[in-house]
A and B are shown apart, each in its own frame.
Chain A
Amino acid sequence: MKLSINGQVSEVDVEDDTPLLWVLREQLGLTGTKYGCGIAMCGACTVHIDGVAQRSCVLPISAVSETQKITTIEGLGVQQFHPVQDAWAEIDVAQCGFCQPGMIMAVSSLLAQDPNPTDEQIQSEITNICRCGTYPRVLEGVKLAAQRMASNQKAGGSNEQV
């Protein structure tokens, strides 16, 4: 079975029902994507599929095709940090950090769809669980990243990643 992950095609040989999460973690060694619940409740396993955030723990590998572009946290800001990662570093969002790859993937997807979300939109879209309680800084981080991305755009830069 072939998968397109972080711009590379990888071949894996696993049972059909293996969730993408475990293919990433255990077949491809991409452990930045985390397991938190396995039932699509926590968001720790969030990746992008064709740019859209998805919870990979409930996505059987048989449902993913080679034409779909999968991006994991390892592929988000390869040459340079994604603006969301920059914002996260700048205001020290992470505590234990375990939920943050998923959080960052969810936020970067949200900002790709909606560059200027309201507080309410952020609150309803970002449903990832953080037991350390980084929520206030997550909210602040989303807005900071949105600002940065807007001014990059103005300056003619691009936010295209990978």
Chain B
Amino acid sequence: MNKSETNAHSEGAINLTRRGFLKGSGAAAGAFVFGFSVPFSQSALAQSNSPEVNAWVVVQPDETVLIRIARQEMGQGSLTGLAQLVAEELECDWDKVDFDLVKPGQNRERDNAWGSQFTAGSTAIRGSHEYLRQGGASARMMLTEAAALQWQVSASECRVSEGVITHEPSGRTTTYGAVAKAANDIEPPKTESIILKDPKNWRIAGKDKARLDTLDKLDGSLVYGVDFSMPGMLVAVPKACPVHGGKLKSFDAEKVKNMPGVKQVVRVDDETVAVVADTFWRAQKALKALPIEWDEGDNAKVSSESIAKKLREGLTADTSFVGNQAGDAKDALANAEQVIEADYSYPYQNHAQMETLAATVRWRKNGCEMWGPTQVPGAALAALAEAAELPQDVCEIHTMRIGGSFGRRAATDYIRQATLIAKQIPDTPIKLMWTREEDMLQGRFHPVTQCRLRAAMDDEGNVQALHMRISGQSIMAYAMPQAMGDNGDPVAYQGLDPEGDMALGYSFPNLLVDHAMHNPHIRPGFWRGVNLNQNALYLESFIDELAHAAGQDPLAFRRKLMANHPKHLAVLEAAAKGIGWDTKPPEGIYRGIAQVKGFGSYVAAAAEVSVTDGEVKMHRIVAATDPGHVINPQQVEAQVAGSFVYGLSPLLYSEATVKDGRIEQQNFNTYRVMTLKDMPKVEVITMPSGGFWGGVGEPTIAVAAPAVLNAIFAATGKRIRNIPLKNTDLTVS
């Protein structure tokens, strides 16, 4: 098959014809952008709550529709989903859609025309669907109006389909490309006059569509941040004090300055040194040879054991941080006949995204630019400007598609480093590249926690009280201290909240969920799924413990507690049905279930495992998810399967441990992650019930591990409360 002649093979397949078509079109001359000159901002003053602009759509004379994407694409597929939403209302020809990435400086210059560019917490689609759809609809109305004006007819007599405008009474037709220039002068419609389509009538959104951003990933032509290069560029490889919070005392540049390719050895900041050379390979080699002295400070005494000890104390400590409360759980527990109690833990995790951190920065007296990826363009631009000591309006970030991120690039530490180095070598583009070892040591780690669960249960197996004490590290206290509230870290209780996007799916007459905070020096960060991961593992394992203690079927037991939570229950029932909960499993196969609500979506999983001579094999997981609306089912399926890999790696192998104040695992040989051989068969049930918008990249992570753990209990009678499994007497096949 010839590359440019390849046709779509099936529904949902990449349409290579489209790409061939786009190749010739280029984002060149004659393109018309809606919104760039429209006076939306004036009307916006009158209606401060409305989306002010329509800067989403560019139509080129050859009918190519460029959809501007403001959120960051790191593999999660939201780029395509966002484009589907715009295209749906625009009524354009999907085969002629291409995308363009919005830069944060551009956004700033235009008064935040594209809204937030922040991409974490499964927010890309659910945080912007409405104004995106309005953007698409507004452009459609303007294009139609332009055609109507040319024909001297009323726009209400015109109909649009796939980028073709038809005047119904006369049968005249024209295309978007033909009227794009004229449409540019049309007054944009007022937001309140825009009527969005009922999702029932969607043709592009809600359908399986091949990703728009695929082909250049298959032939090596996509340039990621680590691949970027420009004339005169040098490469900087940094090393920060391996003990977080420690300081750089001294280094002996003389020892390496004559090594091949080495240009300079620079102090980056208080804790970091970097070698600048002509290539990465030479820079990292010199860095390894560079004698460095650290002032590691008291943190060097900290170990995983000392952290665990502190967290254990937190299990019984007094605390004022309460996340969810009903009745008087403490009193009920004090007076209960039967109290069931268990302690769990979840270790540090590294993001270990495949693309190590990198950014290219060129600092000049009058301006500073960066080429590289970020999940938080606004904050990244601010960090760049601050480190550059230049105003933001002379700084710009050329965002790039990301080689996996999972929350790591919600932090801007690497951008700051690159800028601080570039500032010392003005006018020279500096590509900062981290080694995998540095990426492992200087992560923003999924926080470490323990949890004590105590339940009062009567003879009939009714749970009268539950106290869930979380003891551990707060992400917010480190990453966003301004967000700390009366309940301490507001995200510590994900999946356990009284209501909202992270609402608990059970009702207990007496309930207390509280948090004893202890913040070790290891820097925490947002790791795909965030605190939902361990919270769901703790509670869903413990509920299973209670069901077994009551001698009841885990599903039937949950049903009783979930009567007031029909949507939570619906996904759980679907997952259970999918795995065949009511039927006897094949010989040697055991099952477990789990459910949670997170990031606005209801999710559940049912797993089948076998354990032979202590060797665990995961055979099959059925996931059910209700995210309200689904934009691209095949991508939701990919996200769910992918999230399982992310959530099951910590269950099987992954943990970052601390010794002498530093992270011990420095590469994939010790920070082991799942590979193909570990992957169970995944079946995904998507059951959008409408009326709300939940995320899909993260929530399902949280249910995979507890479903498997519950199945392992069914198989072995062994309750694993401390992961990963590699530390238990079970092995993984």
B675 to chain A, nearest CB (A): 5
Q: How far is the CA of A66 from the CA of B580 in the complex (A)?
A: 59
A122 within 8 A of B: yes
Given contact pairs A131-B354, A137-B638, A80 touches B3 in the complex (Cβ within 8 A): yes
Q: Are A94 and B217 within 8 A (Cβ)?
A: yes
Say whether B681 faces chain A, with CB atoms less than 8 Å apart.
yes
Chain A, interface size: which category? 35 or more
B708 touches A (CB below 8 Å): no
* B354 and A42 form a contact (CB under 8 A): yes
On whether the beta carbons of A31 and B355 are closer than 8 Å, the reply is: no
Pair B673/A37 contact, Cβ less than 8 Å: no
Whether A26 and B354, one on each chain, are in contact in the complex, defined by CB atoms closer than 8 angstroms, is: no
CA distance A147 to B217 in the complex (A): 22
Q: Which among B281, B675, B679 is the interface contact of A22 at CB below 8 angstroms?
A: B281
- Asked if A32 contacts B220 (CB within 8 A), the reply is yes
Cβ–Cβ < 8 Å partners of A126 in chain B: 675-676
Instruction: Write the nearest CB–CB distance from A108 to chain B, whole angstroms.
Output: 11
With A124-B677, A126-B676, A131-B352: A98-B403 Cβ-Cβ less than 8 Å = yes
Q: Which of A15, A92, A127 contacts B634 (CB 8 A)?
A: A92
Residues of chain B within 8 A of A95, CB atoms compared: 75-77, 404, 638, 642
Nearest CB on B from A65, distance (A): 20
* B342 on the A face (CB < 8 A): no
A135 to B345, CA, bound (A): 28
A139 to B681, CA, bound (A): 10
Residues in A with CB closer than 8 Å to B675 are 126-129, 135
Contact between B667 and A39 (Cβ–Cβ < 8 Å)? Answer: yes
Tell me if A132 and B404 are in contact (CB < 8 A): yes
Known: A90-B13, A94-B218, A97-B75. A81 touches B280 (CB 8 A): no
CB of A136 within 8 A of CB of B211, answer no
Say yes or no: B634 contacts A131, CB within 8 Å: no
Q: Is A74 an interface residue (CB 8 A)?
A: yes
A74 in contact with B676 (CB, 8 Å): no
Task: Give which listed residue, B222, B226, B406, contacts A97 with CB less than 8 A.
Answer: B222
Interface stretch (choices B4-12, B444-452, B461-469, B498-506) = B4-12
**Given A97-B75, A101-B220, A133-B641; A92-B436 close (CB under 8 Å):** no
**A43 to chain B: closest CB distance in Å?**
9
What residues of B have a CB within 8 angstroms of the CB of A124 in the complex? 677
A133 near B226 (CB under 8 angstroms)?
A: no
- Is the C-beta of A85 less than 8 angstroms from some C-beta in chain B? yes
B142 beta carbon closer than 8 Å to chain A: no
B74 contacts A by Cβ under 8 Å: yes
* A73-108 Cβ-contact flags toward B at 8 Å (1 or 0): 110110111000110111110111111110010000
A112 interface hit (Cβ, 8 Å):
no
> A131 and B218 in contact (CB under 8 A), knowing A79-B3, A95-B638, A98-B224?
no
Chain A binding surface SS class:
loop
Q: Does A149 contact B (CB under 8 A)?
A: no
CA–CA, A66 and B645, complex, Å: 40
Distance, CA A68 to CA B352, complexed state (A): 33
- Given the known inter-chain contacts A89-B214, A127-B676, please indicate yes or no for A133 contacting B645, CB distance below 8 A: yes
Instruction: Tell me, yes or no, whether A30 is within 8 Å of chain B by CB.
Output: yes
Whether the pair A92, B354 counts as a contact (CB closer than 8 A) is: no
B458 within 8 A of A: no
Which residues in window 393-449 of B have CB below 8 A to A?
Answer: 401-406, 435-436
Q: Is A41 an interface residue (CB 8 A)?
A: yes
A122 nearest CB across to chain B (Å): 7
Which of A37, A91, A126 lies at the interface centre, i.e. has the most chain B CB atoms within 10 A of its CB? A37
Q: Does B1 contact A (CB under 8 A)?
A: yes
Would you call A122 and B436 a contact (CB within 8 A)?
Answer: no
Q: Contact: B354 with A129, CB < 8 Å? A: yes
Docked complex: B203-258 residues within 8 A CB-CB of A: 210-211, 213-224, 226-227, 229
Q: Which of B216, B220, B643, B667 contacts A133 (CB 8 A)?
A: B643
**Does residue B646 face the partner (Cβ distance < 8 Å to A)?**
yes
Q: How far does the alpha carbon of A89 sit from the alpha carbon of B223 in the complex, in Å?
A: 18
Instruction: Provide the B477-521 mask, 1 if CB < 8 A to any CB of A, else 0.
Output: 000000000000000000000000000000000000000000000
Q: Which of B127-157 contact A (CB under 8 A)?
A: none
The verdict on A41 contacting B681 (CB below 8 Å), with A92-B12, A133-B642, A133-B646 known, is no
Task: Name the A residues within 8 Å of B229 (CB-CB).
Answer: 29, 31
Q: A136 contacts B668, CB within 8 Å? A: no
Contact A96/B355 with A32-B221, A41-B669, A89-B13 known, Cβ cut-off 8 Å? yes
Known: A73-B220, A135-B675. A92 touches B14 (CB 8 A): yes
Q: Which of A25, A36, A123, A135 contacts B645 (CB 8 A)?
A: A135
The answer to the question of B41 belonging to the interface, with a C-beta cut-off of 8 Å to chain A, is no
Decide if A72 is an interface residue (CB 8 Å cutoff). yes
Q: Identify which of residues 257-285 in chain B touch chain A, using a CB-to-CB cut-off of 8 Å.
A: 260, 279-282
B354 touching A44, Cβ below 8 Å: yes
Report the separation of the CA atoms of residues A99 and B643 in the bound assembly, to the nearest whole angstrom: 16
On whether the beta carbons of A89 and B14 are closer than 8 Å, the reply is yes
Of the residues B220, B355, B638, B641, contact of A92 by C-beta under 8 Å: B638
Min CB–CB distance B237 → chain A (angstroms): 12
In the complex, the answer to whether B218 meets A104 with C-beta atoms within 8 Å is: yes
Contact of B404 among A29, A98, A101, A127 (CB under 8 A): A98
Using known A-B contacts A81-B218, A85-B218, A131-B352, determine if residue A26 contacts B14 with beta carbons closer than 8 Å.
no
- Complex formed: what's the CA distance from A32 to B227 in Å? 8
B673 interface neighbour in A34, A104, A123, A129, Cβ under 8 Å: A129
User: A26–B279 Cα gap in the complex (Å)?
Assistant: 7
B640-682 interface mask toward A, CB cutoff 8 Å, 1 = contact, 0 = none?
A: 0111111000000000000000000001110001111101011
Cβ–Cβ < 8 Å partners of B406 in chain A:
131
Which 6 pairs show the lowest CB-CB distances between chains A and B?
A32-B220, A133-B645, A96-B75, A97-B217, A98-B403, A133-B642
14 A-B contacts (beta carbon < 8 Å) = A15-B260, A26-B280, A32-B219, A39-B668, A39-B669, A74-B219, A96-B402, A96-B403, A97-B216, A98-B353, A98-B355, A104-B218, A134-B638, A135-B674
Q: Beyond the given A34-B355, A35-B226, could you list 14 further A-B residue pairs with CB under 8 A, ordered by the A residue number?
A: A15-B260, A31-B227, A37-B436, A38-B667, A44-B354, A89-B14, A94-B217, A95-B76, A97-B213, A98-B224, A101-B217, A134-B641, A135-B641, A136-B679
Using CB atoms and an 8 Å cutoff, list the residues of chain B in contact with chain A: 1-3, 6, 9-10, 12-14, 16, 74-77, 210-211, 213-224, 226-227, 229, 260, 279-282, 352-356, 401-406, 435-436, 634-635, 638, 641-646, 667-669, 673-677, 679, 681-682
